Amino acid sequence: MRRVRFAVILLAAFSAHALADRLLVPHTPQRYVVRVGDTLWGIANHFLRDPWRWPGIWNRNRQIHNPDLIYPGDVIVLRYAKGYPYLLDLGPRPLVQAQAQGSGGLSSANRVVILRPKVRREPLAEAIPTLSPNIIGPFLQRPLALSRREFRHFGYVAGGVHRHTFLSPFSRFYARRLGAHPDRFYDIYRRGPALRNKDGDFLAYETKYVGRAKLVRPGHLPELEVMSSIREVQAGDRLIPWRPEPPIPYYYPRAPRKRLVGRVVAATHNNLNLGTYAVLALDIGKNDGVRRGYVLRIYSRPRRFYDPVAKETVRGRRQRVGLIMIFKTFPRVSYGVVMQARKEIHVGDGVASP
């Protein structure tokens, strides 16, 4: 009986050790001090083979006011419980300090340990983001995929006040469909190509940011002035009420809760061959269960090759080429940034749950 119990304990210890080896990178650091410029994805890469497993290994420190947020200066340590690894944020300094005091002839075994709580001061620095703001910042504020109905709903540039066909900063233009109570500031967008799935079904229009304008004369035919632009404003461009830029969202990289399968339908870069940090549009969105923070594998399309012995064309297997993390979702389309790229990625490649 003792041998059986010992064997079970040994097997459990071996299983826990094997699990830790599958989760953690070789030579895993025992502690890591968060620095300015770090991202959650980057820290996850310091510890984990698969960064999307972060929620399963992160142990929230209840003594910290907001245990989901990590700040520069925080110390993250690797711990084990019954052989299972987990990460804990100690904050910028230990939350409690143990002080051993001896008195008289007491032995070290009888020393009294006094726990003295310390206040954790929230650092002035902002919590580190999941992804670098330089990568996804420009795409957070600007809507990228609009339905036909949404496009018809928004106001539009009707024409230049001074008969100019193309408008630049300080040019004025007339607008229509702004409603009875127009906003003061508008972002200007131009309709791009239609995004379609592999069956050719319409998903959304990809939009291109043009610039920003302000209302200078309301009335039956509102008059606006171009404040800034990255390309010339044209008649027909849509006017979407401006809203303050949202903060960089904080979310855990994680695997989807259910099986997701989709396809790359567009890229914000004009390159035919895409790699790390490219922003891609997928043909799956909120309606399919896609959420921000989900990590998907990217697969190349199976290549066909000719077998000279069998004298037939054979269809090969799809190959893993990278990882993409979702940061913005629409009903039928979602956008993600390529976090890892083993090989070149192309429009038409597939995506699926890891």
Residue 12 carries which DSSP code?
H
What the block records as the tokens of 116 is 């003295």
What the block records as the tokens of 263 is 């396809």
Per-residue pLDDT at 161 exceeds 70 = yes
Per-residue pLDDT at 5 exceeds 70 = no
Structure-model confidence comparison of residues 188 and 274, the more confident one: 188
Structure-model confidence comparison of residues 291 and 301, the more confident one: 291
CA-CA distance, 154 to 161, in Å (whole number)? 20
CATH topology for 2-89 is Membrane-bound Lytic Murein Transglycosylase D; Chain A (3.10.350)
Average pLDDT of 259-263?
A: 96
Q: Range with the lowest mean pLDDT among 143-147, 197-201, 261-265?
A: 143-147
Question: pLDDT per residue over 106-124, tens digit each?
Answer: 333 444 444 445 444 544 4
pLDDT at residue 99, rounded to an integer: 35
Nearest partner of 28 among 57, 66, 67, 63, judged by Cα: 57
Nearest partner of 64 among 45, 85, 99, 89, judged by Cα: 89
Q: Range with the lowest mean pLDDT among 33-37, 109-113, 162-166?
A: 109-113
- Residue 6's pLDDT band, with cuts at 50, 70 and 90, is very low
Radius of gyration of the chain (CA): 28
Superfamily covering domain 261-352: FlgT, C-terminal domain (2.40.10.410)
| Residue 106 exposure: Cα atoms within 13 Å on the Cβ side | 11
Average pLDDT of 169-181?
A: 94
pLDDT at residue 256, rounded to an integer: 94
Question: pLDDT per residue over 176-187, tens digit each?
Answer: 999 989 999 999
Question: pLDDT per residue over 303-321, tens digit each?
Answer: 888 989 988 999 888 899 9
Average pLDDT of 122-129?
A: 68
pLDDT at residue 18, rounded to an integer: 63
pLDDT at residue 227, rounded to an integer: 96
**Domain segments of the chain as ranges:** 2-89, 136-241, 261-352
Query: What's the CA dihedral at 159, 188, 194, 147 to 10 degrees?
Result: -100
CA-CA distance, 157 to 233, in Å (whole number)? 8
Query: What's the CA dihedral at 8, 14, 20, 23 to 10 degrees?
Result: -90
pLDDT at residue 12, rounded to an integer: 42
pLDDT at residue 103, rounded to an integer: 37
pLDDT at residue 273, rounded to an integer: 64
pLDDT at residue 113, rounded to an integer: 42
Q: Are the CB atoms for 30 and 47 separated by under 8 Å?
A: no
- Residue 19's pLDDT band, with cuts at 50, 70 and 90, is low
CA-CA distance, 18 to 4, in Å (whole number)? 21
Average pLDDT, the chain: 83
200: Cβ contacts below 8 Å, ≥ 6 apart: none
**Strand 58-59 to strand 84-89: parallel, antiparallel, or no bridges (unpaired)?**
parallel
Judge if pTM exceeds 0.85. no
Using DSSP's 3-state secondary structure scheme, residue 179 falls into coil
Average pLDDT of 79-92?
A: 87
Per-residue pLDDT at 4 exceeds 50 = no
Number of H helices, E strands in the chain: 5, 21
| In the block, residue with structure tokens 């770090």 | 38
pLDDT at residue 59, rounded to an integer: 85
Per-residue pLDDT at 154 exceeds 80 = yes
CA-CA distance, 333 to 79, in Å (whole number)? 40
